[in-house]
Amino acid sequence: MKQLMGNSEALMAGFQPEDVLPDTPARFVRWATGLDRKVDDMAEAWDKFLSEIVAAHKEKGVDGAGEEGEDFLDVLLRLREEGTDGLELTDDRIKSIIEDMIAAATETSSQTLEWAMAELVANPRVMAKLQDEIARVTTADQPAVAESDLNKMEYLKAVFKEVLRLHAPAPLLVPHESTTPAVVQGYEIPAKTALFVNAWAIGRDPAAWDAPEEFRPERFVGGGAAAVDFRGTDYQLIPFGAGRRTCPGINFELPVLELALASLLRHFDWELPGGMRPADLDMGEAPGLTTPRRVPLVLVPKSKTLD
């Protein structure tokens, strides 16, 4: 039976125990430890949150986007009105798409920024070189780094590639399923096999990279081997996956991350607290579906005078 309510409520509502009690040991453990309940509560809270956002957008109306233009949800609501071929954009589907975007976008982006700051503080030479580039490209009288400055910051882009090579936020990408039988390096893979691609290990493979454990953005500066891309065309660097299910957020997140990092480094110098030395910084990763730092990064900002 599809579980629509908590087990105790279901029993009180007159369902028979065999309708609601778990039928396998794994389901029993989930039910008995309260995990099912927590998942239900979380799903309910998410649904309420997303329903409120959808309702507010509907109230504003598709024409009410104002000067800032349409946001992502406005576009989905407009597509619904205009009609989409073969797919009805119900409220539930729209909420699922938004939830997917939030889940896929937040932790990946914040972790990448945190690892970037950690690597820069651990490698003061790279930090100084990047701050020099930012100072060269921007002028003292401009209040903030502009999006148009980013294309002139080659080293900044190399720093992000190097951060994502060493710290792919989705180390095993997301599970894929083979659609047809294949043979890969002598291994027969039947159709419908669940596959995990270890992008983390590929990024550190000594067969593909010189000194793979070293943080050296210079490996991505210039042409030749340095031109390796990370958008799914060069298989030695696939932090965003590859193929038709590759990350669709690349063009959103790169400018956002680049702007954030360039702004943090333009306006502040960053130091470790309590006289800690860069060599003392714990660069370990915690295990999980993503790769957060084992120890959260704590830094002290020192305001810079721009000249």
Shortest approach of ligand HEM to residue 99 CB, angstroms?
A: 10
| Number of residues forming the site for ligand HEM (CB under 6 A) | 21
- The verdict on 220 binding ligand HEM (CB under 6 A) reads no
Q: Indicate the SS3 state at residue 76.
A: helix
Would you say 20 or 240 has its CB closer to ligand HEM? 240
Region binding ligand HEM by CB under 6 A among candidate stretches 212-220, 234-242, 267-275, 284-292? 234-242
Region binding ligand HEM by CB under 6 A among candidate stretches 22-30, 31-39, 241-249, 268-276? 241-249
Is the separation of the CB atoms in 260 and 114 below 8 Å? no
- The number of helices, as runs of H, and strands, as runs of E, in the chain is 10, 6
- The verdict on 159 binding ligand HEM (CB under 6 A) reads no
Candidates 39, 53, 174, 226; binder of ligand HEM (CB under 6 A) is: 174
- The verdict on 217 binding ligand HEM (CB under 6 A) reads no
Region binding ligand HEM by CB under 6 A among candidate stretches 52-60, 238-246, 260-268, 269-277? 238-246
Distance CA(262)–CA(267), nearest Å, equals 9
Residue type, 126: V
Structure tokens at 218: 């210079």
Is the separation of the CB atoms in 253 and 98 below 8 Å? no
Cα–Cα nearest to 267, from 227, 222, 301, 216: 301
Element (H, E) at 45: helix 35-60
Distance CA(196)–CA(175), nearest Å, equals 5
19 is in an annotated binding site: no
Shortest approach of ligand HEM to residue 238 CB, angstroms?
A: 8
Q: Which positions from 62 through 101 interact with ligand HEM, judged by CB under 6 A?
A: 100-101
Distance CA(193)–CA(268), nearest Å, equals 49
Site string for ligand HEM, 102-141 (x = CB under 6 A): --xx--xx--x-----------------------------
At 269, give phi and psi (nearest 5°).
-95, 150
Structure tokens at 33: 């430890």
Shortest approach of ligand HEM to residue 183 CB, angstroms?
A: 21
Candidates 145, 247, 261, 264; binder of ligand HEM (CB under 6 A) is: 247
**DSSP characters for 202-244?**
HHT-TTTSSSTTS--GGGGSSSGGGG--SSSSSTT--TT--ST
Distance CA(274)–CA(295), nearest Å, equals 16
- The verdict on 263 binding ligand HEM (CB under 6 A) reads no
Cα–Cα nearest to 238, from 173, 147, 149: 173
Shortest approach of ligand HEM to residue 71 CB, angstroms?
A: 12
Region binding ligand HEM by CB under 6 A among candidate stretches 15-23, 183-191, 244-252, 259-267? 244-252
Would you say 77 or 163 has its CB closer to ligand HEM? 163
Region binding ligand HEM by CB under 6 A among candidate stretches 34-42, 150-158, 239-247, 289-297? 239-247
Cα–Cα nearest to 290, from 155, 141, 132, 173: 173
- Specify binding-site residues for heme: 247
Binding site for ligand HEM (CB under 6 A): 100-101, 104-105, 108-109, 112, 169-170, 173-174, 239-241, 245-249, 252-253
